Amino acid sequence: MAGEAGTTELKRRYRALVAAGELRPDPDQERAVAVLAALAEKLEEQPRRGSPIWRLAGRFERPPGGVYMWGGVGRGKSMLMDLAFETIHYAPKRRVHFSEFMLEVHDRLRAQRATGAGDPVPHVAKAIAAETKLLCFDEMIVNNSADAMILSRLFTHLLDGGVTVVTTSNRPPRDLYKDGLNRDLFLPFIALIERALEVVPLNGPTDYRLERLGGMPTWYVPNGPEATAALSEAFFRLTDYPVEDRTKVPSEELHVPGGRTLHVPKSLKGVAVFSFKRLCAEARGSADYLAIARHFHTVVIVGIPKLGPENRNEAARFVSLIDALYEHKVKLLAAADAPPDQLCTTGDGAFEFERTASRLMEMQSADYLARGHGAT
């Protein structure tokens, strides 16, 4: 709400974090905060649906389209999005990871199509608009034609339905679905974003996430208390977790295909901690690994053993897990009984494991760590 000095809560909160030294001053972020604060003010001035003013005039005016923040990894996109989501007093609002939202949209389209009632897109968009007035997406990315083909119509109907969108992405709108199949059919979506949303680059020189890791190694050998302590320190640095709360990190039930769930023992701000056992010793497959790779930008795995003929199923699952993480540019921190190139040296899998070992090596490089999350 516009505060005493006419300053929005968002600006106050951001400035307080900078003043406290939790955030370093960053001109790109300040610009983005100003844009988000202006959005907050506009939204908070909107007459409440159904109120007399709304009946008189408000319903004929469309709320602002929203904001599109883009930039490289660790620039503070998700942080600002979370701050905006918390401080914008406008309801109903929802924050969701973009790829999960799209899976949900396809489910709803499928159900709607089954009723045989014509074009399902407007119908589904209308239903979403009735549930949410502010949609905050983290990590907008378009990498399949099923999404690409419906996005323009879906978002046109959402915006027409009065939904405001705040989104982050690691590329500017003009590079979305770059080199994708039938990209000309996707271009109207780019035009829509550029027209309806305020596009704000958040692409300063500093990757704060990498900076928080402060050059810490990402692969620890061997498993044991020292590795566990280092990884837990990395986890807390990456999630800005308050020291006093360290005993109660939230867990999560991640939805995976087939209506099942996967228990994530520690899950916070896109960072997950798993044991090797949970991921590779149970009956899990590439669909589970894909869900993990889409959902988390960073994964910590502890307890990776040496792999050989005695645990060949685990080894095969591990290969498929690392493929999914690698393809989605997920950052990996791990504790293992050997360095990647000595993890699997015996048995039939050893030859094929060379590719995985090489991926694991690359995943430790500064270049890999600076790449944006998501498949391209």
Ligand X SMILES: Nc1ncnc2c1ncn2[C@@H]1O[C@H](COP(=O)(O)OP(=O)(O)O)[C@@H](O)[C@H]1O
Q: Look at residue 62 and give the partner it binds from Mg ion, ligand X, none, a contact being a CB closer than 5 to 8 Å depending on partner kind.
A: none
Quick one: 78 or 132, whose CB is closer to Mg ion?
78
The window from 22-30, 38-46, 260-268, 356-364 that contacts ligand X (CB under 6 A) reads 22-30
Distance, CA of 292 to CA of 278 (rounded, Å): 13
User: Between residue 68 and residue 87, which ones bind Mg ion under the rule CB under 5 A?
Assistant: 78
Q: In angstroms, what is the minimal distance from the CB of 25 to ligand X?
A: 7
**Given the complex with ligand X, which of 133 and 209 has the nearer CB atom?**
209
Q: Do you find a cis peptide bond into 173, omega within 30 degrees of 0?
A: no
The residues with which 3 forms a beta bridge, in sequence order, are none
Nearer to Mg ion, 29 or 78 (CB): 78
Residue 33: helix, strand or coil by DSSP? helix
Specify whether the CB–CB gap between 304 and 337 falls below 8 A. Answer: yes
The residue ranges of DSSP E strands in the chain, in sequence order, are 66-70, 93-97, 134-138, 164-169, 198-201, 219-220, 252-256, 260-264, 266-268, 271-275, 298-304, 331-336
Q: How near is the Cβ of 186 to ligand X at its closest, in Å?
A: 24
Query: What does the alpha-carbon distance between residue 82 and residue 224 come to, in Å, rounded to a whole number?
Result: 35
Cis omega (within 30 of 0) for bond into 122: no
| Nearest distance, CB of residue 78 and Mg ion, angstroms | 3
**Alpha-carbon distances of 134 from 84, 160, 195, 225, rounded to whole Å:** 11, 13, 18, 44
In the bound state with ligand X, the residue whose beta carbon lies nearer, of 138 and 288, is: 138
26 sits near ligand X (criterion: CB under 6 A): yes
Of 4-12, 206-214, 257-265, 300-308, the window that binds ligand X (rule: CB under 6 A) is 206-214
Alpha carbon distances (Å) from 201 to 75, 160, 204: 10, 25, 8
Chosen from Mg ion, ligand X, none, partner binding at 24 (C-beta under 5 to 8 Å by type)? ligand X
Of 31, 37, 48, nearest in space to 11 by CA: 37
Q: Which does 29 bind (CB under 5 to 8 A by kind): Mg ion, ligand X, none?
A: ligand X
Nearer to Mg ion, 46 or 78 (CB): 78
| Binding segment toward ligand X, per CB under 6 A, in 4-12, 18-26, 92-100, 114-122 | 18-26
- Name the residue number minimizing CB distance to Mg ion: 78
The correct pick among 107, 240, 245, 310 for binding ligand X (CB under 6 A) is: 240
> Which residue of 62, 108, 212, 266 would you call a contact of ligand X, by CB under 6 A?
212
Backbone angles phi, psi at 47, to 5 degrees: -65, 145
Binding positions for ligand X, 66-95, rule CB under 6 A? 73-79
329 is in the binding site of which of ligand X, Mg ion, none (Cβ under 5 to 8 A by kind)?
Answer: none
DSSP states of 199-239: EEE---S--HHHHHHTT--SEESS-SHHHHHHHHHHHHHHH
Distance of CA 171 to the CA centre of its chain: 13
Stretch that binds ligand X, among 94-102, 189-197, 208-216, 257-265 (CB under 6 A): 208-216
d(CA 193, CA 199): 8
Minimum distance, C-beta of residue 269 to ligand X, in the bound complex (Å) = 7
Q: Which of Mg ion, ligand X, none has residue 240 at its interface (CB below 5 to 8 Å by kind)?
A: ligand X
Residues near Mg ion, by CB under 5 A? 78
Residues found near ligand X in the complex (CB under 6 A): 23-24, 26, 29, 73-79, 208-209, 212, 240
